[in-house]
């Protein structure tokens, strides 16, 4: 016999309980950043001085640019360990073009002006980064070599290429139009900071509102399901490595312009800082979850932490220990939060 339920009252769904773990997974980075700023400002009055704050942003801008590219790679469940080496090689090629060769690699003053325009040097550095990223992307997608192995090989290969290209020595002393990109300001804001923030906004729009951005998240979330739904996963992964190559080239150029020197040893240990920035910012190493905003927050958090510890005269060795512990803790917490979401 059928039961008439037309007059039965609707049962409201039970209220959702507050999940502290998921809340912390989403907002831990900005909250921790605010806490660090508060603590360091209380312990060291110089911390909040505008010059120091802009110095933090200038420091963050180089690693932050590469962290933007790393966000795309990690969102596809990949990794890139070659970023420091590719940055060094790109910076050296840009410096070579700017100087017009290696004959006056140490020249300063009037003789520096005989080189090529800074924009040509920037284009050369970015081209090297794009080629490096394309090579690694091809190895990952076409040869099906795991990203960890491909980029570990790239770490040594690009560093060796940088040493071979430069003969082991630096290229230094550039014209003002070159160093302006690393040392100049627009108003009171350093040029690298403006470039970093501009690309962060652009990358945020691409990831959040474009079809390519949706494909990146789909590929990292479940590559097999994305394939079945027509997502060109191989092309997406390839482009992710090309993107990070672009940012390595740009960052290599900006770093050499800031230091007025390009060296084969530039970018040593940069992998830890960049990956920590991305992961601490909430991007999952397992792919499919993350944001550019979180990466910017993570990069600023690492910059504030490093700067504050320097002002407090904490050993650089201790700084590395602290950043390493924070990175492992962030990944462990990300895994814990992921397990709770599945439960």
Residue 318 lies in a domain: yes
Residue 28 lies in a domain: no
Residue 44 lies in a domain: no
Residue 35 lies in a domain: no
- pLDDT at residue 330 in the model: 74
Residue 162's domain comprises: 49-342
- pLDDT at residue 110 in the model: 47
Both structure tokens of 44: 């060291």
- pLDDT at residue 342 in the model: 63
Q: How many CB atoms lie within 10 A of CB 302?
A: 27
Sign of torsion over alpha carbons 39, 42, 46, 50 = positive
Helix (H, G, I), strand (E, B) or coil at 104: coil
Do 96 and 103 meet the contact criterion of CB atoms below 8 Å apart?
A: no
Residue 78 lies in a domain: yes
- pLDDT at residue 65 in the model: 97
What CATH number corresponds to the domain at position 168?
1.10.3470
Mean pLDDT by 10 residues, the chain (343 residues): 54 61 71 88 89 91 96 96 96 92 58 74 97 97 95 96 91 91 92 96 96 95 91 96 97 95 92 91 88 93 90 85 80 70 63
- pLDDT at residue 30 in the model: 85
Both structure tokens of 181: 């990109």
Residue 38 lies in a domain: no
- pLDDT at residue 270 in the model: 92
Question: Does residue 147 come out as left (phi exceeding 0), alpha (psi in the -120 to 50 range) or beta?
Answer: alpha
Q: How many structural domains are present in the chain?
A: 1
Residue (of 263, 254, 295) closest to 276 by Cα position:
295
Residue 19 lies in a domain: no
DSSP code string of 279-314: HHTT--TTSS---HHHHHHHHHHHHHHHHHHHHTT-
Residue (of 45, 112, 82) closest to 247 by Cα position:
82
Residue 201 lies in a domain: yes
Helix boundaries (H) for the chain = 20-43, 50-75, 83-99, 118-141, 147-166, 176-183, 191-209, 211-221, 223-228, 233-259, 270-280, 292-311, 316-342
Do 258 and 90 meet the contact criterion of CB atoms below 8 Å apart?
A: no
Alpha carbons 209 and 244: distance in angstroms, whole number:
20
Alpha carbons 274 and 286: distance in angstroms, whole number:
16
């Amino acid at each position: 016999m059928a039961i008439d339920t037309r007059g039965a009252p609707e049962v409201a769904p039970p209220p959702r309980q507050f999940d502290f773990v998921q809340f912390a997974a989403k907002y831990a980075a900005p909250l921790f950043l605010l806490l660090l700023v508060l603590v360091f400002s209380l312990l060291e009055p110089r911390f909040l001085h505008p010059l120091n704050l802009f110095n933090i942003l200038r420091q963050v801008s180089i690693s932050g640019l590469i962290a933007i590219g790393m966000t795309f790679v990690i969102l596809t469940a990949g990794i890139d360990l070659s970023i420091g080496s590719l940055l060094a090689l790109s910076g050296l090629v840009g410096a070579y073009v700017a100087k017009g060769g290696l004959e006056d690699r140490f020249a300063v003053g009037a003789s520096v002006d005989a080189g090529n325009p800074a924009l040509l040097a920037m284009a050369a550095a970015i081209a090297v980064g794009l080629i490096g990223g394309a090579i690694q992307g091809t190895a990952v997608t076409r040869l099906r070599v795991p990203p960890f192995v491909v980029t570990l090989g790239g770490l040594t290969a690009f560093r060796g290429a940088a040493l071979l290209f430069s003969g082991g020595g630096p290229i230094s002393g550039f014209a003002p139009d070159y160093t302006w990109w690393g040392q100049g300001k627009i108003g009171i804001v350093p040029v690298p900071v403006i470039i970093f923030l501009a690309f962060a906004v652009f990358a945020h729009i691409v990831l959040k509102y474009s079809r390519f951005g949706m494909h990146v998240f789909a590929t990292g979330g479940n590559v097999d399901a994305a394939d079945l739904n027509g997502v060109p996963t191989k092309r997406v992964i390839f482009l992710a490595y090309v993107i990070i190559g672009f940012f390595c080239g740009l960052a290599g150029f900006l770093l050499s312009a800031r230091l007025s020197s390009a060296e084969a040893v530039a970018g040593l240990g940069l992998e830890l800082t960049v990956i920590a920035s991305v992961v601490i910012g909430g991007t999952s190493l397992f792919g499919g979850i993350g944001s550019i905003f979180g990466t910017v927050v993570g990069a600023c958090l690492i910059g504030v932490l490093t700067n504050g510890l320097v002002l407090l005269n904490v050993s650089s060795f201790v700084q590395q220990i602290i950043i390493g512990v924070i990175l492992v803790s962030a990944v462990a917490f990300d895994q814990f939060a992921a397990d709770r979401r599945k439960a």
